[in-house]
Amino acid sequence: MIGQKALRLAMLAAGTAGGLSGAAYGLLNGQSRYARRVIGPPANMPLRADGVHLPDGTGPVPRSELAAGVKPLELVVLGDSAAAGLGVNFPDELPGVRIARGLAEELERPVSLRTHAIVGTTSQELHAQVDLVLADPPRLALVIIGANDVTSRLSVPVCAELLGKEVTRLTEAGVAVVVGTCPDLGAIRPIPQPLRSIARSWSLALGRAQRRVVEANGGHAVPLADLLAPEFLARPNEYFSPDRFHPSGAGYEAVTRILLPAMCAAIGEWEGGPLPAAPTRSEAAEARRPTSRVVARLNRALHRRSQD
């Protein structure tokens, strides 16, 4: 899990790219241990509420309860702990359930939810989930992936390429695909500075690469970092679960509020106005400074401290 690894591999990658001094690397290593201790392992596994969800907000119900001739929209959820809904206290708060019920209300028809997301999944492991889906392709798939990639040994281009291949497999099977790209790990307060800045730069770079490959391969990308980081930064006590790493029920509500219009649009069923748009380049410039600049500033600060 990310909490267990505490971003030490992201730190290592950033150090390799930016040329960390020994003192800087030692500082980040200590911060990594601190973050790992504070976040800790997951207290439990995600809840499940797969099945048919109805336009009136109820569910899941057995298919046998549907009226004759009523066929639900088939929805699958793939990815990591954020897709699985780790951190919520009640099934109604699961992101898959919120999406399924939102779709059912918008489309005025039942939605059948299947969740294949697994805690700790990286883009390298997404292939197995897609294999399960392609045995019985749905109409619509939601993928949330990327946070664990930040702690993996895979490069940003490799992670993006792997995701692009899975999006292609799904779209070629007739599945409409929406991908929630890598969240901004800089919003996670237990990760101290400057490690948090490095994690932020790494996750933003991955999110941008994911967006390019998803759209190039026929999917619909929703830049979660761009659209949600300000809310999570402003309301951490409300939007994070007690582990201060995974979203709470309110946090997942914010996530699905952003995702739902894109899900409807992916199947040609959105009539609610413009879709949420990412900030312009100038608006996001400060959040997207290269990791190498963060590392350079850190080294300069440590050098000044050593001269005092």
Name the residue type at position 226.
D
pLDDT score recorded for residue 162: 96
What's the token pair of residue 259? 């995702």
CA dist., res. 51 & res. 112, Å (int): 5
Query: Parallel, antiparallel, or unpaired for β 73-79 and 140-144?
Result: parallel
Residue 116 appears among annotated catalytic residues: no
pLDDT score recorded for residue 15: 46
Average pLDDT over the chain reads 80
Quick check: 241 pLDDT over 60?
Answer: yes
Residue 246 appears among annotated catalytic residues: yes
> Do residues 225 and 183 touch, judged by C-beta distance below 8 A?
yes
Q: What is the pLDDT of residues 190-212, one digit of tens each?
A: 777 777 788 888 889 999 999 99
The average pLDDT across 154-169 equals 93
List 53, 80, 81, 220, catalytic entry: 81
CA dist., res. 139 & res. 127, Å (int): 18
**Residue with token string 């797969």:** 50
What's the CATH number for 2-307?
3.40.50.1110
The average pLDDT across 143-162 equals 86
> Do residues 186 and 203 touch, judged by C-beta distance below 8 A?
yes
CB atoms within 10 A of CB 193: 12
193 versus 27: which is more confidently predicted?
Answer: 193
pLDDT score recorded for residue 190: 73
Q: What is the pLDDT of residues 45-74, one digit of tens each?
A: 788 999 999 999 999 999 988 988 899 999
The average pLDDT across 153-171 equals 92
Residue 184 appears among annotated catalytic residues: no
pLDDT score recorded for residue 151: 65
What's the token pair of residue 182? 């890598």
Every domain of the chain and the residues it spans:
2-307
Q: Provide the β-strand partners of residue 111.
A: 53, 73
List 21, 92, 155, 243, catalytic entry: 243
CA distances from 48 to 1, 86, 190 (A): 19, 10, 28
